Amino acid sequence: MSALNRLVNRIIDRVNVNLREPGFDVGPYVRGVIPWAKFSRFYAFYGLTFHHPLHFHFEHSSIAGSYFLGKCIVDHSVLYKSDIRGDELKARGDVFHHSGLEIPLHDDEVIRIKDSFLVKNLVHNHSHDPENPEEFLIQNIVSLHYANIHGSPVEGSFLGPFSTVDLTTLHDCVIGTFAYVQAGELAHHFVPDGRIWIRYGDVFDFCYQFPEEVLKRYVYLNPGEAPKGIFMDFVERRKPDFEKVFDMVECKPAVAAAHGAALSRYAVVRGQTRVSENVLVAQRAYLEDAWLGVGSNAQENCYIIRSSLQGKNITAHGGKVINARLGEGVFVGFNAFLHGTPECHLGIGKGSIIMPHTIIDLKEPLEVPPDHLVWGYIQDAKDLAEHSLPLAVMSTCEGEFRRGAMRFEGSGSRFVSGFQHRLEHILEANGAYFDGSKKKGHAQKGQHIAFNIIQPYPEGPMKGLYPTIDICP
Amino acid sequence: MSALNRLVNRIIDRVNVNLREPGFDVGPYVRGVIPWAKFSRFYAFYGLTFHHPLHFHFEHSSIAGSYFLGKCIVDHSVLYKSDIRGDELKARGDVFHHSGLEIPLHDDEVIRIKDSFLVKNLVHNHSHDPENPEEFLIQNIVSLHYANIHGSPVEGSFLGPFSTVDLTTLHDCVIGTFAYVQAGELAHHFVPDGRIWIRYGDVFDFCYQFPEEVLKRYVYLNPGEAPKGIFMDFVERRKPDFEKVFDMVECKPAVAAAHGAALSRYAVVRGQTRVSENVLVAQRAYLEDAWLGVGSNAQENCYIIRSSLQGKNITAHGGKVINARLGEGVFVGFNAFLHGTPECHLGIGKGSIIMPHTIIDLKEPLEVPPDHLVWGYIQDAKDLAEHSLPLAVMSTCEGEFRRGAMRFEGSGSRFVSGFQHRLEHILEANGAYFDGSKKKGHAQKGQHIAFNIIQPYPEGPMKGLYPTIDICP
């Protein structure tokens, strides 16, 4: 048995021992899901800049196709085409504020991935876990295609495909396919497929459940296979465009980025695309006939196609926007799928918030009014009415409130202001407000970046594994 | 002043303190010779295989465009487009035989480059220095374009462009432009430009001096500039072909290599080229309409153009063969320039030895008979008569012997047998005799190789320097 095979088995055992209480076996979801040959076919790469603190350490791992930025330690793990973006790691001496406590960091924060198996994941952290501020830990995790691990450490858990764990520390949990969780901390919890759940202590609790038959059309999972459905068809169809981009050591951008903007050379750019001032386009973003207005950002695994974004638009990790016009400040959450067609165009008014994991897949033209909160599954105006609320109305909600398969409880104003506060932070962090010298963010810091390309052993018993690599200043 | 600028000054100071006795200042030859911008334009790369012991350590160095294989430690050095090929390093437990002594190695041998400035150099070692068998040290060295450091450590020295130091330990020496030295050990020695010198203790001494006016046409050096002349024009003209090869992460070979052969993806291959069984084509070799017969090899910085090599041909580092037909077993030494034209074709009979740094630049067709030793500068049959000898005749020489600008002293038979013995070793080491399972050499061990690509800091005070990188199994 190859060293890589032994490593995969070892990870399965470690995750299973964590999940013994729900009695969940991750083995069938891991074995065979990536053909062995692929682990030695794709290179890993990491970014080198003058701005980001530097420490990479890879040990006894397979990291094919994966990208790293910042301080990352990976051991005894399999990361396949994943993005580990440590550009919001805290630095030694920073003070972490939590519940009135001030916690100064005695060392630079690092992302540490240990005994885990991540496929096409996005890991990004502006860490919100106060318990171990120097280490953002991902340990004993199996996390499948296009899952997002965002802002909090996770351990002993299984994350289904297209799921998102956002600002939620996990211990021994199972997160279902396309489930979205933002809940602070969870232990021994099972989140069903297609559950959208945002809870902030006793302050508010938002919950939406996708109908099973709808979800199955978009994504479903057979053990031992890659997920299937509309989402996978959509990304797989565009894979050849990425292959061209990855084949070159250097890659001239197809369009010029405006002042203060960063356009990753690992993004696909096609057609009449405009990258305006202070825009961030991350690696693995896909732009085709896309107008990105000032201060917008297109994050990892985004697809923006035949669409215009008027400015200060956030398209979060995995968000897809097709045949749409987004007003200023529209937010599109993680893994949202906004699918207009040339005949059924989608318009979204300024300031509206498209919740993470929203599916808008139109059978008629649709205009979302400004300043609305939108969630769930929407095909037409009738669906929109059942799956949206003006933010102003939402802000007046107190107590319990139901609309269709959505249930809200608590303070609507805290929910809305919390969201808006976070969006402001995202814009700031991404450099949307850069004035030419001050308020630098990721867009400006990512402009001068070199990418180092590393490969695994091409043959022999270690085939597919990487040697031990340590990079520091 | 940038960190890179400070590093270069530091190297100059260290080399100069070694060369204070000849009173040689390397500064003018180093400053400005590579434009600053180039240090951050080219990536470095290292080879990863199952066969070669692995340890790379790069620290406070600029290694733009350089290649590494085996165990290499580089600190406080500038390596520009150099090849550091550690595929003949000895392993822990190997026994080094020297003058009847048996010296077992207590650790794997490493190539260590320290406080040195190497431009487009080739470093290859089958180390012959018994004094420090675990470390092949290159320290306090300035070595200019296309110099070869082969088989022995060097320290405190300046190597001119296109010079070769072969099996010669240097202490505080100046080696002139296009000089070739194979002399065991030298200290505080000045070898003039265009001097070809092979000495083996009291056994033999071969010496040839290129005429100054001839040498100047082929290569000359103005301080602070790249060397000029026919050699540089020749390689610079073919640079764009290499750029294409280096731009791709993976590169499909233009031709298929036969069984047991290794064709580097960093070689240029054009036209009707044939790579036969057990052939080794190293990175930075250039093949155009080249027929490489069974067991031949084309080493780093080789150019083989419109030529056929019948088999078991060695074209050593930097050898150039144009419009020629080489019989079986013909050896072409380091940096030799064999330049026929379509009208003035060059034939070389089987078993002939073209000494390192030989220039054959024809103004009429020429046939070198089989089993001849050839040296010096040759344009026609008359020159050939003055610059060659049948090996059988050479083997009978005893005492002093002169022919033109060549002077030989000592045992001709020892000289010829020493040469032939070494050529056999080179063929063996390169895998020319591989039988499908046994007698593996570089050609077979280099077949499954992955290349990792590393870049320097793209901006900021460390621009052009690499972070500290350590790679081990």
Region B349-354 average pLDDT: 98
Q: Which of B248, B468, B472 sits opposite A249 (nearest CB)?
A: B248
CATH 2.160.10.10 boundaries in chain B: 3-228+448-471, 238-394+412-445
- Nearest CA among B315, B311, B320, B273 for reference residue B298: B315
Residues of chain B in contact with residue A37, where contact means CB-CB under 8 angstroms, are none
* C-beta atoms surrounding B402 within 10 Å: 10
DSSP B65-131: T-EEESEEEEES-EEES-EEE-TT---TT-EEEETTEEEE-SS--EEEEES-EEES-EEE------S
The pLDDT tens digits for B169-185 are: 999 999 999 999 999 99
CB pairs under 8 A between A and B: 106
* Residue B249 with chain A: CB contacts under 8 Å: 43, 246-249, 453
pLDDT (0 to 100) of residue B382: 97
List the single residue in A with minimal CA-CA distance to B456: A450
Chain A residue with Cα closest to B455: A452
A-interface mutation test, from B40, B50, B57, most A Cβ less than 10 A away: B50
Q: Strand, coil or helix: what is B366?
A: strand
- Chain A nearest C-alpha distance from B285 (Å): 20
Which among A247, A450, A459 is the nearest to B249, CB-wise? A247
Min Cα distance A247 → chain B (Å) is: 5
Task: Identify whether the C-beta of residue B184 lies closer than 8 Å to the C-beta of residue B199.
Answer: yes
Q: In whole angstroms, what is the distance from residue A358 CA to residue A335 CA?
A: 8
How many other C-beta atoms can be found within 10 angstroms of the C-beta atom of residue B74? 29
Backbone angles phi, psi at B438, to 5 degrees: -105, 175
Superfamily of domain A251-398+423-445 in CATH is Hexapeptide repeat proteins (2.160.10.10)
Fold (topology level) of B238-394+412-445: UDP N-Acetylglucosamine Acyltransferase; domain 1 (2.160.10)
Predicted pLDDT of residue A37: 92
Return averaged pLDDT per consecutive 10 residues of chain A, 473 residues in all.
93 96 93 93 92 92 96 97 94 87 90 98 85 91 98 95 96 98 96 98 97 98 95 97 90 87 95 96 97 96 98 97 98 98 97 98 98 98 97 96 95 96 94 93 89 92 94 92
Question: What are the structure tokens assigned to A269, written together?
Answer: 């750019």
For position B113, what pLDDT does the model report? Answer: 98
- For A436, other C-beta atoms within 10 Å of its C-beta total 11
| pLDDT attached to residue B15 | 97
In chain B, the residue whose alpha carbon lies closest to the alpha carbon of A59 is: B473
DSSP assignment, residue A375?
-
CB B323 within 8 A of CB B339: yes
Quick one: which of A138, A89, A82 has its CA closest to A112? A138
Q: How many angstroms separate the Cα of B59 from the Cα of each of B181, B193, B377, B451, B457?
A: 31, 34, 43, 19, 13
Enumerate the residues of chain A whose CB falls inside 8 A of the CB of residue B49: 457-459
ipTM: 0.84
CATH 2.160.10.10: which residues of chain A? Answer: 3-233+448-471, 251-398+423-445
Name the residue among B157, B155, B209 with its Cα closest to residue B180.
B209
Q: Residue B9, Cβ neighbours under 10 Å: how many?
A: 14
Is the confidence at residue B252, as pLDDT, over 90?
Answer: no
| H or E stretch at A331 | strand A331-332
Q: How confident is the model at residue A51, as a pLDDT?
A: 85
Q: Is B104 exposed, middle or buried (0-12, 13-18, 19+ CB in 10 A)?
A: exposed
Confidence of residue B361 (pLDDT cuts 50, 70, 90): very high
Write the CA distances from A180 to A303, A313, A406, B110, B166, integer angstroms: 19, 21, 14, 52, 66
Query: What span, in angstroms and rounded, lies between the C-alpha atoms of B39 and B41?
Result: 6
Question: With contacts defined as CB-CB under 8 Å, which chain A residues touch B454?
Answer: 452-454
Interface residues on B facing A, Cβ-Cβ cutoff 8 A: 40, 43, 48-50, 54, 246-250, 448-463, 467-473
Provide, rounded to the nearest whole percent, the portion of chain B with pLDDT above 70: 100
Residues of B in contact with A247 (CB under 8 A): 248-250
Separation CA B302–CA B446 (nearest Å): 17
Q: Give the list of residues 6+ apart from residue B188 with CB closer than 8 angstroms, or none.
A: B21, B22, B171, B172, B173
Burial of B348 from C-beta contacts in 10 A (0-12 / 13-18 / 19+):
buried
Cα–Cα distance, B33 to B131 (Å, whole number): 34
Q: Please write the tens of the pLDDT for every residue from B45-99.
A: 999 988 888 999 999 999 999 999 999 999 999 999 999 999 989 988 899 888 8
Q: Do A450 and B456 make contact, defined as CB atoms within 8 angstroms?
A: yes
Phi, psi dihedrals of residue B110, rounded to the nearest 5° = -125, 155
Return mean pLDDT, chain B.
Answer: 95
Q: Which of A4, A40, A249, A462 to mutate to test the interface with B (most CBs of B within 10 A)?
A: A249
Contacts of A233 by beta carbon, 8 Å cutoff, 6+ apart: none
Please report the pLDDT score of residue B130 as a whole number: 78
Phi (first) and psi of residue B16, to 5 degrees = -60, -35
Output the CA torsion B338→B343→B344→B349 (10° steps): 80
Distance from CA of B58 to the nearest CA of A (A): 9
CB contact under 8 A, B459 and A43: no
Of A64, A49, A85, whose CA–CA distance to A455 is shortest? A64
In this structure, CATH architecture of domain B3-228+448-471: 3 Solenoid (2.160)
Quick one: DSSP state of residue A255?
Answer: S
Stretch (H or E) spanning B136: strand B135-143
Position B112 pLDDT exceeds 80: yes
CA–CA gap between residue B441 and residue B295 (Å, rounded): 10
Closest partner residue to B43 (CB to CB) among A249, A457, A463 is A249
Instruction: Using an 8 Å CB-CB cutoff, list residues of chain A that contact chain B.
Output: 40, 43, 48-50, 54, 246-250, 448-463, 467-473
Burial per residue of B77-99, b for 16 or more beta-carbon CB atoms within 10 angstroms, e otherwise: bbbbbbbbbbbbbbeeeeebeee
Question: What pLDDT score does A251 carry?
Answer: 81
**Phi, psi (deg, nearest 5) at residue B156:** 60, 40
Tens of pLDDT, residue by residue over B212-235, are 999 999 999 999 999 999 999 999
To which residue do tokens 């701005």 refer? Answer: A51
CB A79 within 8 A of CB A56: no
Distance in Å from the first CA to the final CA of chain A: 37
Which of the two residues, B218 and B249, has the higher pLDDT score? B218
CA–CA gap between residue B11 and residue B117 (Å, rounded): 7
Query: Which residue of chain A is at minimal alpha-carbon distance from B52?
Result: A457
Which residues of chain B have a CB within 8 Å of the CB of A65? none
DSSP B266: T
Nearest CA distance, A48 vs chain B (angstrom): 6
Please say if the pLDDT value at position B129 is more than 80. no
Contact B471 A473 (CB under 8 A): no
Q: What is the pLDDT of residue A132?
A: 82
Q: Shortest CA distance to A12 belongs to which of A228, A223, A227, A229?
A: A223
pLDDT number for residue A249? 85
Would the CB atoms of A455 and B48 count as touching at under 8 Å?
A: yes
For A3-233+448-471, CATH gives: 2.160.10.10
pLDDT in tens, B272-319: 999 999 999 999 999 999 999 999 999 999 999 999 999 999 999 999
Q: Chain A: nearest CA to B302, how far in angstroms?
A: 24
CB B322 within 8 Å of CB B305:
yes
Token match 């291959």: residue?
Answer: B269
DSSP 3-state of A136: strand
Min distance B458 CA to chain A CA atoms (Å): 6
Which of B49, B448, B455 has the CB atom closest to A450's CB atom? B455
Cβ contact, residue pair B246, A249, below 8 Å: yes
Which residue, A174, A144, A115, A177, is CA-closest to A29? A144
Residue B199's φ and ψ, nearest 5 degrees, are -135, 135
Tell me if A452 and B451 make a contact (CB, 8 A cut-off): no
